[in-house]
């Protein structure tokens, strides 16, 4: 176990491809001392443009400025120059691999708030544990996290338009957890323990009680087939270089219920050819009786919420809607895929084959500047379509296509028949996916008219002493 004595400065761990540029300071560094060790405390904020351009680098830059990078104390594993070159290279490589799993956006928010907390308190944030059972240091570290939570509650929101509003306990817990996990990761051991976490559970319980009932879910409307038909009537761009790709992205996302990050890759993450939407994810299939004699294809989809990388790709079947020239049906997902092949100048492979060579691992959908598609672009496309339709832009989001597709399945097939298919095509592991199916007016009106004719007996009335359990299906 490492010992105390090493300053927590702006050191950059070996193996970083680029040393982070100095953070934008909001005040001059203050020096604190704990047992003779100088602890620089520098509050820094990362500009929005920096966190978008290189999210992970921005996180590391900010963490360094706050003294949260590297080991706590003198750790022989990380002593400068320790180990062979191969040891150092492997150690750095595994850390970089692990860092790529971080949620850069949330970490940046938490680090910015933690920096403000350090400036307000002038506190050395964490101490090194001298041994595995060092309750004194673990308790000190837990106190830091507890005080950070209380500080967040007192100071409230810093978001534009919500300055000073009370932060919900869930938001505070997320920020505290992010700081704890980052510092634990960098230290290489758990910096707190259950034995010293005696105050936070009760404090968070009181916060939740103060929060009251959960607020209403933010309204995000689905983009449905009727909306796409209207866009066609309005002359929405489906033919320009980027219009072909964006229309295809919308139609495919609607048809196979893609999340915003499954049209390409996840926001803030480098494109991963092994898991994101590439040319090789598409396989063309021969027409058969089950496809009504029409050509079809499959698209391999890996859930973008699979943060542990446990799920395999799931093939989603897409069939031509009808015969005719390719592109004659604007809502046909098969034709939408084919239009991208033609627009990008890539030859469609033979039946049973996939795109090969260097193109195979490239992103199938790209944004206007040629960069790989990610969640930001899905959100932007949805907003632009809402504006074209005369709908409220603030009600658009990256999951609009997924919501619209799930609702249209229900409308087309009926609630019972669509339920299982929705969960399969949306790749949900539980019935929570059915929440994406918006209630249909027709179903409610039919139920309203028919309810007065009901005459059947319920099971409870026929079984004396039996009460139907809450989960009776």
Mean pLDDT on 93-118: 89
Q: Which pLDDT band holds residue 318 (cuts at 50, 70, 90)?
A: very high
On whether both 204 and 234 belong to a single domain, the answer is no
Q: What is the pLDDT of residue 96?
A: 85
The string of DSSP codes covering 313-365 is: PEEEEEE-SSSSSTTSSTT-HHHHHHHHHHHHT-PPPPTT----SGGGGSBSS
- Residue 469 — very low, low, confident or very high, per pLDDT cuts 50/70/90? confident
Residues 292 and 408 in one domain: yes
Mean of per-residue pLDDT scores for the chain:
83
Contacts of 469 (CB under 8 A, 6+ apart): none
Kindly state whether residues 179 and 241 are assigned to the same domain.
no
Q: Is the pLDDT of residue 343 over 90?
A: yes
- Give me the mean pLDDT over the 322-345 stretch: 94
Whole-number Å distance between alpha carbons of 258 and 277: 11
Given 211, 237, 260, the domain boundary residue is: 211
Which tokens sit at 178?
């992010």
**Together in a domain, 171 and 264:** no
pLDDT of 138 reads: 95
> What is the band of 95 on the pLDDT scale with cuts at 50, 70, 90?
confident
Residue 469 in any domain: the answer is no
403, burial (CB in 10 Å: exposed 0-12, middle 13-18, buried 19+): buried
Which among 160-164, 286-290, 376-380 has the top mean pLDDT?
A: 376-380
Length of the chain: 473
Same domain, yes or no, for 167 and 281? no
| Residue 7, domain member (yes or no) | no
Side-by-side strand order, sheet with 282-285: 282-285, 296-301, 314-319
Verify that 102 and 131 share a domain, yes or no: yes
Q: What is the pLDDT of residue 466?
A: 81
The pLDDT-based confidence of 34 (bands split at 50, 70, 90) is: very low
Average pLDDT over residues 427-435: 73
Tell whether 204 and 297 lie within a shared domain: no
Tokens of 202: 């009760």
5 falls within a domain: no
Position 267 confidence tier, pLDDT thresholds 50, 70, 90? confident
Question: What is the structure's pLDDT at 40?
Answer: 43
Total domains in the fold of the chain: 2
Q: Does 103 map to a domain?
A: yes
d(CA 406, CA 221): 12
Do 207 and 231 lie in one domain? The reply is no
Q: In the prediction, which pLDDT does 422 show?
A: 84
End residue of a domain, out of 180, 211, 242: 211
User: DSSP class of residue 262?
Assistant: G
Q: Is the pLDDT score of 398 beyond 70?
A: yes
Domain assignment of residue 408, yes or no? yes
Domain final residue, candidates 211, 242, 263: 211
Instruction: Please indicate, yes or no, whether residues 257 and 339 belong to a single structural domain of this protein.
Output: yes
Query: What number is the average pLDDT over the span 277-295?
Result: 93
pLDDT of residue 15 exceeding 70, the answer is no
- Residue 11 domain flag: no
Same domain, 290 and 205: no
Contact 247, 337 (CB under 8 A): no
pLDDT category at 311 given cuts 50, 70, 90 is low
Instruction: Say whether both 243 and 366 belong to one domain.
Output: yes
Q: Is the pLDDT of residue 281 over 50?
A: yes
Confidence (pTM): 0.65
pLDDT at 14: 34
The answer to whether position 325 is within a domain reads: yes
Residues 371, 285, single domain; the answer is: yes
Residue 275: which domain range? 225-441
Query: Is 448 within the bounds of a domain?
Result: no
- Are 311 and 303 spatial neighbours (Cβ–Cβ below 8 Å)? yes
Residues 388, 391, 397, 401, CA torsion sign: negative
The better pLDDT of the pair 30, 57 is held by: 57
Angle at 31 between CA 29 and CA 34, to 5 degrees: 145
How confident is residue 231, by pLDDT bands cut at 50, 70 and 90?
A: very high
The pLDDT of residue 227: 95
Going 352 to 357 to 359 to 362, the CA torsion angle's sign is positive
Q: pLDDT tens across 111-157, in order?
A: 999 999 999 999 999 999 999 899 999 999 999 999 999 999 999 99
Q: What is the pLDDT of residue 46?
A: 52
pLDDT band at 6 (very low <50, low <70, confident <90, very high): very low
pLDDT on residue 307: 54
């Amino acid at each position: 176990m490492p010992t105390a004595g090493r300053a927590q400065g702006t050191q950059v761990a070996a193996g970083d491809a680029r040393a982070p540029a100095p953070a934008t300071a909001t005040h001059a560094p203050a020096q604190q001392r704990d047992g003779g060790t100088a602890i620089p405390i520098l509050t820094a904020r990362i500009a929005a443009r920096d966190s978008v351009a290189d999210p992970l680098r921005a996180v590391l830059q900010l963490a360094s400025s706050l003294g949260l990078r590297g080991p706590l104390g003198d750790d022989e594993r990380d002593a400068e120059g320790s180990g062979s070159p191969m040891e150092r290279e492997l150690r750095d490589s595994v850390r970089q691999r692990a860092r790529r799993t971080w949620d850069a956006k949330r970490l940046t928010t938490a680090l910015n708030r933690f920096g403000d907390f350090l400036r307000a308190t002038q506190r050395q944030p964490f101490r090194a544990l001298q041994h595995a059972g060092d309750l004194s240091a673990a308790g000190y570290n837990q106190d830091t996290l507890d005080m950070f939570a209380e500080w967040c509650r007192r100071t409230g929101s810093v978001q534009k338009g919500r300055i000073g509003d009370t932060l919900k306990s869930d938001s505070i817990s997320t920020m505290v957890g992010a700081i704890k996990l980052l510092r634990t990761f960098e230290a290489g051991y758990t910096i707190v323990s259950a034995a010293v976490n005696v105050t936070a559970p009760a404090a968070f319980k009181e916060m939740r009680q103060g929060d009251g009932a959960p607020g209403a879910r933010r309204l995000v409307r689905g983009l449905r087939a009727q909306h796409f038909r209207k866009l066609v009537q309005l002359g929405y761009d489906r033919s320009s270089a980027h219009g072909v790709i964006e229309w295809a992205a919308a139609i495919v996302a609607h048809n196979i219920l893609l999340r915003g990050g499954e049209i390409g890759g996840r926001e803030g993450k480098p494109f991963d050819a092994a898991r994101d939407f590439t040319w090789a994810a598409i396989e063309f299939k021969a027409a058969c009786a089950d496809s009504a004699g029409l050509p079809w294809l499959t698209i391999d989809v890996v859930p973008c919420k699979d943060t542990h990388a446990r799920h395999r790709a799931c093939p989603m079947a897409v069939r031509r809607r009808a015969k005719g020239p390719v592109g004659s049906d604007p809502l046909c997902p098969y034709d939408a895929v084919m239009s991208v092949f033609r627009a990008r100048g890539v030859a469609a492979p033979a039946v049973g084959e996939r795109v090969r060579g260097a193109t195979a691992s490239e992103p199938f959908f790209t944004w206007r500047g040629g960069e790989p598609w990610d969640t930001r672009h899905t959100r932007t496309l949805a907003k632009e379509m809402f504006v074209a339709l005369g709908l409220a832009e603030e009600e658009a989001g990256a999951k609009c296509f997924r919501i619209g597709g799930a609702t249209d399945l229900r409308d087309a097939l009926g609630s019972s028949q669509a339920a299982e298919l929705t969960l399969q095509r949306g790749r949900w592991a539980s019935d929570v996916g059915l929440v994406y199916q918006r209630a249909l007016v027709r179903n409610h009106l039919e139920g309203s008219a028919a309810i007065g004719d009901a005459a059947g007996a319920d099971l409870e009335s026929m079984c004396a002493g039996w009460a139907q359990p809450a989960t009776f299906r």
